[in-house]
Amino acid sequence: MMTNPTGRVTQGQFSFLPDLTDAEITAQIQYGLSKGYAWSVEYTDDPHPRNTYWEMWGMPMFDLEDAAGVLMEMNACRQAFPRHYIRLMAFDSTRGVETITMSFIVNRPPNEEGFMLERQEVNGRSIRYTVRGYGANRPEGERY
């Protein structure tokens, strides 16, 4: 278990709050849809802070305007990968934004092992740091 105050990976908008219920997730999806964002579902078993590209659960749902549809995709992903990290992301294609505008974790492994910090002493007192997931040496799909 991780030693930070939440005991878990704190990425995303709502990691410090109790897990969102499906009803609460729906409210967030609805908010994004009302702003014209496109939702997508992504999953991984490598939540390294610089692992940018989680696996895509299908394409971003550009034309989906019904929160229930997004929730359905999310739950299908949860069913397929119950022990993976899963996040919902909203995308805004407005000129000058063209990036993710919401992102929060909706599924986690039962036990979050977290990361170790490797220190390599180099010149003088300088240190090179590497953050490594405890499960990173296991093959993809078997880390949690």
Residue 4 or 76: the one with the smaller Cβ distance to another protein is: 4
Distance CA 138, CA 103 (A): 27
What region does 58 belong to: left with phi over 0, alpha with psi -120 to 50, or beta? Answer: left
Residue ranges binding another protein (CB under 8 A) = 2-6, 9-11, 13-18, 20, 24, 27-28, 31, 47-50, 52, 89-90, 95-104, 114-117, 125-129, 131
Distance CA 38, CA 101 (A): 10
Nearest distance in Å: CB 132, another protein? 8
Residue 43 or 115: the one with the smaller Cβ distance to another protein is: 115
Residue 48 or 138: the one with the smaller Cβ distance to another protein is: 48
